[in-house]
Structure 1
């Protein structure tokens, strides 16, 4: 776990072979540091009702041991943060990127008026490792961790080497994906055990390749504070039956209209890979913007792929970004 802090706030970019690390995530088992995620605990008798009125997904009907992905919006419907919420029975646990933590805490504090809700940042008390790849379950079992039969975003508490852990099935985009939440003091021993059991250490560079291959937008890179939920394509973050929440009026207006003006997607690149921020053009008009891109070192050969937003009227037209030609493509790309 070289060059990684105890709580993993500054994880390693790579472990010497990004291609091999990427392959492990695709076809073996890669282990990676999730200390760059923040953990926030909500307690108090009003916590469920209050948070349900703050975020875009349904917390009210969330069973213990289950989680949801959601957006935190402003009153204009623009995305301020993306996060996961987990029902732990006596509390709710919010998981978001550390870069979004302060914004989330500020919004939480602003909207707690006379509600019985206490918000506590526990990021320095709880960290996590992730495992992705078809060999992940076997690696967990060889390390002495039972991987229970859990659905997407379901979790179970357990004990490992006298340490309390939580095993989370984190794989919608990658079905063979798990997280182990654990106190920072035990993270090194857990890392070593998983590597010994067959997991390949994988850094943030390989993880970025993996998310681009899966077409997953990242907050701060592909999802900006000016973007609207439906533009991102992340419909899993929205509930249209839960009732009112911050920004809900805009989300409902878009739903009733039936479409957004632009949509996030993946594009095969022929030519030089365009930088993030490069505009897309069709028939001489600006029709979109690149937000991410990478040359994916796939087993069948390298493929250049970009992610970005394309205006609806440009669908089906010949697209260019800089000197490259773009073709919409389906994800995942393998």
Structure 2
């Protein structure tokens, strides 16, 4: 298994790979008031999106706590919200509560389609060779019955391709013939740790504040009012939050999550994700979590039950 994931991770980092997308779901937002209403429900600027463009968003409650996340694309005069299957129902319920006098409708979309992720350093070249439309990050395109998405979820290029099951089966064959290798969810999880991309419900919880997650690309400070904005602006005016999302390299045992982090015997944070990653320099324990800023800024030695946690920059070991 270790040799398999090492090979798969190498294909992602140096070549191209593909994997089924079975953890995504879509909501379509329509109606004459959709732009104004949706802009007031999420943390990024929806009204500034051109057709085909998208951006990453948080959905907050009135206390500024994160209730969900997703990427929103403008699809003509409508909007398409892509999120994980585990939270699509709760997001729809959250949004439904705030449709009062607004002419807005929410409905599931693309439930009949299957998804395929194309990812890797050479993924753009394979996409171009397939004669599919070129996509910039955070972009949407329709090609016949095929829906193409280019989420900006990390440093490695990636594309989502959605179509009927028969077409996706043929596409898998074509990608394989073009040199792409099918990879496992374990390898994609290892890449997520390398890139330090937080996962909602694991690294981002409904008690977390937007600025604590270090996902500045989810926030727009000149877009106008939205649910939870008062808290976000209060934090901004204060200058910083007390803790921040951080990537770590671990020396020791694989922790049981969530794992408290201590400095000088005092709790200063927690690890929320961790895995053994087969990096070129050797198997390395990588983790994600939160740390209090004073412990991070003063470079205090950090420990967890079973080892030592060393802060690192995303994309490095």
Q: TM-score, with normalisation over the residues of structure 1?
A: 0.90
1:64 has 2:47 as partner? no
Q: Which deviates further from its counterpart, 282-291 or 180-189?
A: 180-189
- Report the Cα offset of residue 170 of structure 1: 2.5
- CA shift at 1:129, angstroms? 1.3
Q: Given the alignment, which residue of 123, 140, 143 partners 1:158?
A: 143
Aligned equivalent of 1:113: 100
The residue aligned with 2:302 is 319
State the secondary structure of the residue aligned to 1:26: helix
CA 1:39–1:183: 2 relative to 1, 3 Å: farther
TM-score (norm 2): 0.94
- Answer yes or no: is the 8 Å Cα contact 1:66–1:86 preserved in 2: yes
CA drift at 1:24: 1.3
Q: Is the Cα–Cα contact under 8 Å of residues 263 and 309 in structure 1 kept in the other structure?
A: yes
Aligned to 2:86: 99
RMSD, aligned α-carbons: 1.8
Question: Aligned in 2, Cα 1:117/1:127: closer, same or farther, shift over 3 Å?
Answer: farther
**Displacement after TM superposition at 1:152 (Å):** 1.7
3-state DSSP of counterpart to 2:97: helix
Q: CA 1:126 to 1:83, structure 2 compared with 1: closer, same or farther past 3 Å?
A: same
Q: Deviations over 1:103-134 (max 9, x none)?
A: 11101211111111111112413342111111
Contact 1:275 1:292 in 2 (8 A): no
Q: 2:242 matched to which residue of 1? A: 261
Contact 1:274 1:293 in 2 (8 A): yes
Distance 1:97 1:259, change over 3 A: same
Q: 1:99 to 1:88 in 2, by over 3 A?
A: same
Partner of 1:139: 126
Q: CA deviation at 1:172?
A: 5.2
4+ long deviations beyond 4 Å = none
Matches of 2:112 and 2:30, distance apart in 1: 16
Q: Is the CA contact (8 Å cut-off) linking 1:30 and 1:132 kept in structure 2?
A: yes
Q: In structure 2, how many angstroms separate the alpha carbons of the residues matched to 1:172 and 1:118?
A: 28
Once residues 185 and 85 of structure 1 are traced to their aligned partners in structure 2, the CA distance between those partners, rounded to angstroms, is 27
Which is worse superposed, 75-84 or 180-189? 180-189
Indicate yes or no: 2:219 matched with 1:238. Answer: yes
Match of 1:331 in 2: 314
- Which of 4, 26, 34 is equivalent to 1:39? 26
SS in 1 for 2:6: helix
**Matched residues in 1 for 2:287 and 2:156: separation?**
23
Structure 1: stretches of 5+ with no match in the other structure: 1-13
Q: Which moved more, 1:130-139 or 1:304-313?
A: 130-139
- 1:54 is the counterpart of 2:37: no
State how many pairs are aligned.
Answer: 315
Aligned mate of 2:273, from 262, 282, 292: 292
Alignment partner of 1:99: what SS? coil
For each residue in 1:206-258, what CA deviation from the matched residue of structure 2 results, as whole angstroms up to 9, or x when unmatched?
11000001011001110111111110000100011111111111111111100
- Contact 1:124–1:184 (8 Å) recurs in 2: no
CA distance in 2, matches of 1:321, 1:147: 47
Unaligned runs of 5+ in 2: none
Q: How much does 1:270 deviate? A: 1.1
Q: What whole-Å deviation, never above 9, does each CA across 1:47-101 have from its counterpart, x for those lacking one?
A: 1111000001000111001000000111111111110000011210000000011
Residue 212 (structure 1) aligned with residue 193 (structure 2): yes
